[in-house]
């Protein structure tokens, strides 16, 4: 992590947290009819220091993006092992 201006570093401290509400899925409908759903899950919160001007704590948030394919039009489905498009080597 790069140093940030106006941040007085301190010993990193993992901060426990609870979700006040579940993250919502963002739904994307692609031009080909496929529907994808995405959301961001918070995995950890770490207090890394304090703002030198205000004294407010500075946090680093670690997260993981999750994507799921909700729907694929039948005409886009391929059988296992069926070649699609050019082969790149």
End-to-end CA distance of the chain: 37
pLDDT for res 50: 94
CB contact at 8 A, 52 and 7:
yes
pTM passes above 0.75:
no
Quick one: pLDDT band at residue 80, thresholds 50, 70, 90? confident
pLDDT tens per residue across span 20-61: 999 999 999 999 999 999 999 999 999 999 999 999 999 999
């Amino acid at each position: 992590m790069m140093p940030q201006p106006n941040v007085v570093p301190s010993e990193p401290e993992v901060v426990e947290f609870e979700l006040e509400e579940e993250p919502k899925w963002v739904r994307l409908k692609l031009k080909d009819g496929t529907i994808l759903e995405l959301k961001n899950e918070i995995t950890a919160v770490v207090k890394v220091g304090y703002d030198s001007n205000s004294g407010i704590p500075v946090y680093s948030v670690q997260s993981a993006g999750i994507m799921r394919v909700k729907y694929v039009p039948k005409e886009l489905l391929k059988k296992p092992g069926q070649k699609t498009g050019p082969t790149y080597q």
